[in-house]
Structure 1
């Protein structure tokens, strides 16, 4: 995502980076990410770390969507067409695999990417799949406990977000990722799978920004560890639009990235012990 050519007037995301506590969150994330990338195992076996992070991230995202499966169960299964939890885990795995293929498209058309993510998550031929919801269409996202914006408002805010992202911002990657995640959860622009799509979109921002280019710091792991209640409380702050609420949401997202980075650092340590 470009970070050049934006003025203070055209770059409202940059102002969020100056909120109290945000700089500290950004620095904490940077140190955690640097710790992973500086690990000797990461330098030699990064593909293995990336693959493991993808699996653990998908599992974490599925947990937040109501499918709390053990990691080894996710690892061993090959058929996810059974009950609702199995389909949720399958959707999370598909999104994780798809997200890495959409980085170049995201820079030009975030809305196209979001539509594609929803199509991949839903994996059916319903005519509501792969497009924002229309007036009167229900939303099946019971785990997000917020008033649902009308379809017209959701469309307008989604287009505004996309315009900001395409224009580019000097805001830190964490801030941009947190806004994308928070806005998608608040709007729930699709008829289903909005949480899964929001976390996949956040992952695209973190990778595409260069903060985590090898995708080894799965924030989804951190969100699952912090728990749904903490996520919903922080999201209330985002939706409030206050400086304190926005800062608290960004801090929450930063904690999740730090925990994801620590997860991969632990994987590196385990591989190092096994290789010793």
Structure 2
């Protein structure tokens, strides 16, 4: 996918040429893109990144997974995530384990994403579900009449299976066609579509946030995966997350713009979190 990861906002082409790029003209989106670029540049420019970037990446992955699990109802303290090993137990431990697995897997799927986003989404669901779902329901979009077992965070009307299939295909075509849209815009649309559609029978929130991470990393905005947007989404709170998603699902220009800005703020907060990690490493405190 062509991308404009951190640079200046492109001139939006016509909607038929590049629908994602036209979203940059929505109120506040260009400002959000600029703020994200500055926040990401700030952490990448930290002196600790020159020699200890691997440690920052590892810590960002852990904190991102913890935050994503929290948004899915398993709000554990970071130190509890570090020490626990019983992630196969039903309930919250399984949710945290799924988040950890997805974060680890996301970095391995960048090249596949560029060729087949739908294959990656299937793989992400397979990884998230582990042994927790019936085999014939794992790794494929839900069929007509199949229920969705999901956290209460998303309370939008559930689209039917035919709509899900059509919109997933449209999203994949859009991504494969390439776009000059900034990475934030593409990531926000991928995240929002997956949350609104809930294409799988379970773990849709975790999968959507993992897909957002893949776009941010693969676009070149955050190549070392040190700016965990999941942390920012959790920090802004579940209510704000749900409200912003409702705006996206409404399809109005204002709602879509607000969702993109919300995702931008999440990346900024994730960048700030990793800046704090860099400071702690520099002091020898982490």
The alignment's TM-score, normalised by the length of structure 1, stands at 0.97
Match of 1:48 among 47, 55, 79: 55
Distance 1:70 1:138 in 2: 31
State how far apart, in whole Å, the 2-side matches of 1:3 and 1:181 are.
17
Matched, 1:121 2:128: yes
Aligned to 2:8: none
CA contact (8 A) 2:114 2:176 kept: yes
Is structure 2 residue 246 aligned with structure 1 residue 236?
yes
SS in 1 for 2:190: helix
Distance in 1, matches of 2:50 and 2:200, equals 39
What residue in structure 1 maps to residue 83 of structure 2? 76
Match of 2:30 in 1: 23
Q: Indicate which of 95, 98, 119 corresponds to 1:91.
A: 98
Displacement of 1:42 = 1.1
Matched with 1:247 is: 257
CA contact (8 A) 2:68 2:231 kept: yes
Distance 1:232 1:64 in 2: 10
Please list every run of 5 or more consecutive structure 1 residues that lacks an aligned counterpart in the other structure: none
Deviation per residue, 1:207-265 (Å, 9 max, x gap)? 00000000000000001100110001001110111111000000000000000000000
Counterpart residue number, 1:179:
189
SS of the residue corresponding to residue 35 of structure 1 reads: helix
Post-superposition shift, 1:17?
1.0
Offset of residue 3 of structure 1: 4.0
Q: Using the TM superposition, give the Cα deviation of residue 126 of structure 1 relative to its aligned residue in structure 2, in angstroms.
A: 2.2
Q: How does 1:1-276 map to 2 (within 5 A)?
A: 1-3=1-3, 8=14, 9-124=16-131, 126-141=135-150, 142-274=152-284
How far apart are residue 7 of structure 1 and its match? Answer: 5.8
> Offset of 1:23 from its aligned partner?
0.5
Q: CA RMSD in A?
A: 1.3
Which whole-Å deviations, capped at 9, do the CAs of 1:42-91 have from their partners, x for residues lacking one?
Answer: 11100000000000000000000000000000011122012310000000
For structure 2, the residue ranges without an aligned partner over 5 or more in a row are 5-11
Q: Distance in 1 between matches of 2:153 and 2:144?
A: 21
Decide whether the 8 Å contact of 2:140 with 2:200 is kept in 1.
Answer: yes
